[in-house]
Amino acid sequence: MPDVIPPPATSRLALVQHVHVRVGRCHIAVPIDQVQQALPLPPQGLTALPRRSGGLLGVADVDGAAVPIVALERWVPLETGGDAAAGVPRLLVLQHAGALVGIRVDAVLGVKAVAAADIRRVHHTPDENELFESVVPASAGAPTLCILEVARLMQLGRAWCAAAELAPAGAADAVASARASPPGSRTQRHAVFRIGVEHWAVPVDAVERVAPVPATELALGRAQRSWAIGQWQGRKLPLVDISEGRQASDRNAAPWMVLLGQGPLVLGLTVSACEQFVDLVLEAVARTPGEALVAGVVLLPDLGKLQVLDVGKLFGLTPEASISRSAQAATLARSDAELSDATEPLPYLVFDADQRYATPVEGIVGVVELPTQAREDLRQGRQAVLAWRGQTVRLVSLPAIARTGGQNDPLLAVLVQAPGGTAPPIGIAIRSLCDWLPAHSVRRSGMRMGAMGEFGLINAKGALDHANLVVVDLAQMAYLLG
């Protein structure tokens, strides 16, 4: 059995962010604290540095430093023949103990959080000539990642850049001063993504993973910020496009999803490419408090205008992220013997109006944000409509069943089609989405509430906040209201 690498932190459950790159057909992971930046290949090429042997490609000018660039495929046997995978070759600048070295990679594929306990050592005899000693096993369609030993790469190549050693006498302090941040400043590492035609910087501590866009289960409309509902490792999550022109609502133009996390919630930010990693001095970012999603703007020489994403604001403007809460382990791990006839064979959507309700997902054709005018019309009791896929859809408020307080300000509309599909869809205003309950995860019962008659109730096993939810079949309601 392979050994488990003991975690450097105090908890074995600690997550370590790694940069995922590809060289030929080999997928490589580098701890993110050892990655300084990713750069395009210089158009003028690398400066040749004649050597008798080794994998050195040449030297690149990186912010005034002469950084040696290594071709891993010249040093270790990496399969490269017939490689047709998509990617943009880049230089990945690595750092260790104040020294810099670069490697040429065929693609930068994003950031992946790896639990320290998941790292497996495959070479058990210490060998200073081994560049790859440990791996992260493949999971959920992701390939096995070989972890690069950066310190050994520098020692084996006997080539690195150390500014303090190379600077002339008396100039070392000037170099350090030029690279240092202003006194009292704070820096934060960001991943730079191209989203449509824009460049966005996302704090790496909010990035859980970068993966291909999953199949969509519910289309919400490409004109919407939350343009679809997808599924990732058993969790429902909204797919979100923050580009101004909504160019990232097409998996051909934006084939990647950045999985962002905030507490128990996640969402998938669809992007076109991962460009590089940058350390931003927070005090140097021009703040934009009036922007809905932008924390600030910074200008970089090689990227131009860079918008810094405010992850908290994004989650605040994405109520659909509520459906991404992890299901209870007891619910997901039930054996087939427990899936009796008493469980509901259909998935349910849990939503909030004046209280929490559940509805079968059958008949739901979309969920969209309410335009400002439609929200105001509903508040004032006027006739409300919205435009959806070339149709004008009538909006209604959910009839009161058991008011617990004043009507909450509706933010979303669930678009439902009456059984048979002949009548036009109707939009039913709700406050927010709360959860998605998979098929066979709930049990249905009934109760009588005085003069109101019989009501259906569901209970989601293992979920205390989904006990005795009143069932409101929105598709049947569309039939009655239509």
- What distance in Å separates the CA atoms of residue 239 and residue 220, rounded to the nearest whole number? 10
Please state, in angstroms and as integers, the Cα–Cα distance from residue 152 to each residue in 28, 135, 136, following that order: 15, 16, 19
**Above 80 in pLDDT, residue 203?**
yes
**Above 90 in pLDDT, residue 37?**
no
**Which residues lie below 8 Å from residue 89, measured CB to CB, with a gap of 6+?**
41, 104, 105, 106, 107
Average pLDDT over residues 48-76: 80
- What distance in Å separates the CA atoms of residue 299 and residue 276, rounded to the nearest whole number? 15
User: Does 144 share its domain with 19?
Assistant: yes
Asked if 266 and 260 touch (Cβ cutoff 8 Å), the reply is yes
Q: Which stretches does DSSP call E strand in 10-55?
A: 15-23, 26-31, 35-40
Question: 3-class SS at 103?
Answer: strand
Tell me the β-bridge partners of 233.
none
Chain-centroid distance, C-alpha 238: 10
User: Does 443 share its domain with 411?
Assistant: yes
User: Does 71 share its domain with 144?
Assistant: yes
Quote the tokens at residue 26: 């080999």
**Above 70 in pLDDT, residue 53?**
no
pLDDT per residue as tens digits for the range 342-391: 577 778 888 888 788 888 888 888 888 888 899 999 888 889 999 888 88
Most confident of 7-16, 46-55, 161-170: 46-55
Within a domain: residue 367?
yes
User: Does 393 share its domain with 441?
Assistant: yes
The confidence score (pLDDT) of residue 268 equals 94
Q: Across all residues in the chain, what is the average pLDDT? A: 77
User: Would you place residue 14 in the very low, low, confident or very high pLDDT band (cuts 50, 70, 90)?
Assistant: low
Nearest partner of 465 among 449, 439, 442, 440, judged by Cα: 442
The three state secondary structure string of 39-52 is: EECCCCCCECCCCC
**Above 70 in pLDDT, residue 336?**
no
User: Does 145 share its domain with 9?
Assistant: yes
The confidence score (pLDDT) of residue 326 equals 62
User: Does 304 share its domain with 390?
Assistant: no
User: Does 18 share its domain with 163?
Assistant: yes
Within a domain: residue 330?
no
Question: 3-class SS at 334?
Answer: coil
Within a domain: residue 328?
no
Q: Where are the alpha helices (DSSP H) in 372-449?
A: 372-379
H helices then E strands: how many in the chain?
8, 35
Within a domain: residue 407?
yes
- What distance in Å separates the CA atoms of residue 446 and residue 344, rounded to the nearest whole number? 13
Within a domain: residue 329?
no
Average pLDDT over residues 6-23: 64
User: Does 103 share its domain with 212?
Assistant: no
**Above 50 in pLDDT, residue 120?**
yes
The answer to pTM > 0.95 is no
Single-letter amino acid code for the residue at 155: Q
- What percentage of the chain exceeds 90 in pLDDT? 9
Please state, in angstroms and as integers, the Cα–Cα distance from residue 270 to each residue in 198, 239, 343, following that order: 13, 7, 35
Average pLDDT over residues 191-218: 88
pLDDT per residue as tens digits for the range 418-460: 766 677 889 999 888 887 777 777 787 765 444 444 567 877 7
Higher pLDDT, 14 or 117: 117
Most confident of 21-30, 295-304, 439-448: 21-30
Question: 3-class SS at 77?
Answer: coil
Q: How many domains does the chain have?
A: 3
Average pLDDT over residues 102-119: 84
The confidence score (pLDDT) of residue 466 equals 61
Within a domain: residue 30?
yes
Average pLDDT over residues 231-248: 88
User: Does 299 share its domain with 365?
Assistant: no
Report the phi/psi class of residue 165: left, alpha or beta, with left for phi > 0 and alpha for psi in -120 to 50: alpha
Average pLDDT over residues 39-63: 79
pLDDT per residue as tens digits for the range 259-290: 998 888 899 999 988 888 888 888 888 888 77
Structural domain ending residue among the three candidates 323, 357, 376: 323
Chain-centroid distance, C-alpha 215: 15
User: Does 42 share its domain with 138?
Assistant: yes
Q: Quote the domain boundaries for residue 213.
A: 187-323
Nearest partner of 469 among 359, 390, 380, judged by Cα: 359
User: Does 235 share its domain with 145?
Assistant: no
Quote the tokens at residue 413: 């509309």
The confidence score (pLDDT) of residue 200 equals 93
pLDDT per residue as tens digits for the range 122-163: 887 766 778 888 888 887 667 888 999 888 888 877 788 875
User: Does 39 share its domain with 108?
Assistant: yes
Quote the tokens at residue 404: 């617990």
The secondary structure of the chain in percent helix, strand, coil, rounded to multiples of 5, reads 15, 45, 40
Q: Give the CA angle between residues 352, 359, 379 to the nearest 5°.
A: 40
